[in-house]
């Protein structure tokens, strides 16, 4: 038994479905996605508090999957690059170096909790291909049963067009569907979604998004931040809708608030999942 498992109270409430923020601490299976700008460069120090929050959920008995961007951004300094490369070959080279460093940083931090990480690299085609999808699903299910914490990223070293647009928000939603997660948490640099970019006058925080709400009148800003990420509010909304449509509720908030998010605090933007047939 690991030290994290030993902290699970004997009389803890059974883990199960999540219908609202208050249910989050008893989620059976959680997927958390973090973006490049949150855990690379000057923000690399956020890995440790992120791991603290994941380990706390793990210690409650939840099965946790981390979908982490950041391979290219992490590899850039080691290739002596000042900005994100634009050509595919250099992006692939940066990813090859960065993925190694990134998984090492996560494992070094997880070591404090006697938790072992398992690396899972996927491309969009892996999810689309029935055989690859089945293999990925089986591997992650086995890792979770062995109490290993899977860390998923897009396989940027071999990706082609996928590497040049979009972000891992969609991948996180697809992973949530793949493993039938009870909750998806999408982390970024902003504490919640707003009716317009939060720095603009008149921006109003969106606390709840009922299932099927098309967010009419909401304006999203440009993707990415600090020149290292490729996602933005728009990609998070698209991913949240995808996951919610598959029956998984979604919480969108900032990386520094992840511990509060996993404790069930009233923060971020909550996307209600499609109602289940059994109510």
In a domain, 228, yes or no: yes
Contact 97, 78 (CB under 8 A): yes
Mean pLDDT of 194-216: 91
Query: Residue 77 pLDDT > 90, yes or no?
Result: yes
What percent of the chain stands above pLDDT 90?
A: 70
The Cα 248–Cα 256 span in angstroms is: 23
pLDDT band per the 50, 70, 90 thresholds, residue 2: very low
In a domain, 22, yes or no: no
Annotated binding site for substrate, which residues? 69, 156, 168
Annotated binding site, which residues? 33, 69, 156, 168, 188-189
Residue 113 has what pLDDT? 97
Could you tell me the CATH number of the domain that includes residue 221?
Answer: 3.40.1160.10
Mean pLDDT of 106-114: 97
**Considering only 162-176, 178-192, 241-255, 256-270, which range has the smallest mean pLDDT?**
162-176
Q: How far apart are the first and last CA of the chain?
A: 36
Q: Is 13 exposed, middle or buried (0-12, 13-18, 19+ CB in 10 A)?
A: exposed
Contact 24, 18 (CB under 8 A): yes
Strands (E), the chain: 29-34, 63-68, 117-122, 149-154, 183-188, 193-194, 205-206, 208-209, 250-254, 269-271
- The mean of the pLDDT values for the chain is 88
In a domain, 253, yes or no: yes
In a domain, 2, yes or no: no
In a domain, 18, yes or no: no
Query: Residue 164 pLDDT > 80, yes or no?
Result: no
Q: What is the pLDDT of residues 5-62, one digit of tens each?
A: 434 444 445 577 899 999 999 999 999 999 999 999 999 999 999 999 999 999 999 9
Query: Residue 227 pLDDT > 50, yes or no?
Result: no
In a domain, 13, yes or no: no
- Please give the helix or strand (H or E) that residue 165 lies within, else none: none
In a domain, 276, yes or no: no
Query: What is the count of structural domains for the chain?
Result: 1
Domain that holds residue 170: 28-271
- Output b/e per residue, 243-273; b: 16+ Cβ within 10 A: bbebbbbbbbbbbebbebbbebeebbbbbbb
In a domain, 205, yes or no: yes
Contact 192, 269 (CB under 8 A): yes
pTM: 0.90
β partners of residue 137: none
Annotated binding site for ATP, which residues? 33, 188-189
């Amino acid at each position: 038994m690991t030290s994290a498992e030993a902290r699970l109270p004997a009389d803890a409430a059974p883990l199960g479905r999540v219908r609202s923020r208050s249910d989050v601490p008893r989620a059976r299976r959680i997927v958390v996605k973090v973006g490049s700008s949150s855990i690379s460069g000057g923000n690399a120090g956020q890995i440790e508090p992120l791991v603290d929050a994941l380990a706390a959920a793990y210690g409650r008995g939840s099965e946790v999957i981390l979908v982490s961007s950041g391979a290219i951004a992490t590899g850039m300094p080691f290739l002596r690059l000042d900005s994100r490369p634009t050509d595919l070959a250099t992006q692939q080279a940066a990813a090859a170096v960065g993925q190694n460093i990134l998984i090492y940083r996560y494992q070094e931090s997880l070591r404090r909790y006697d938790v072992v990480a398992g690396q899972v690299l996927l491309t969009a085609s892996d999810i689309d291909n029935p055989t690859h999808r089945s293999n990925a699903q089986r591997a992650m299910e086995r890792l979770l049963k062995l109490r290993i914490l899977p860390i998923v990223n897009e396989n940027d070293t071999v990706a082609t067009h996928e590497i040049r647009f979009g972000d891992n928000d969609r991948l996180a939603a697809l992973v949530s569907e793949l493993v039938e997660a009870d909750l998806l948490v999408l982390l970024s640099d902003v504490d919640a979604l707003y009716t317009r970019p939060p720095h603009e006058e008149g921006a109003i925080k969106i606390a709840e998004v009922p299932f099927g709400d098309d967010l009419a009148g909401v304006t999203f800003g440009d993707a990415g931040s600090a020149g290292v990420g490729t996602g933005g509010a728009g990609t998070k909304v698209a991913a949240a809708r995808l996951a919610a449509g598959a029956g998984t509720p979604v919480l969108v908030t900032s990386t520094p608030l992840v511990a509060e998010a996993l404790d069930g605090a009233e923060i971020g933007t909550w996307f209600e999942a499609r109602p289940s047939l059994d109510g």
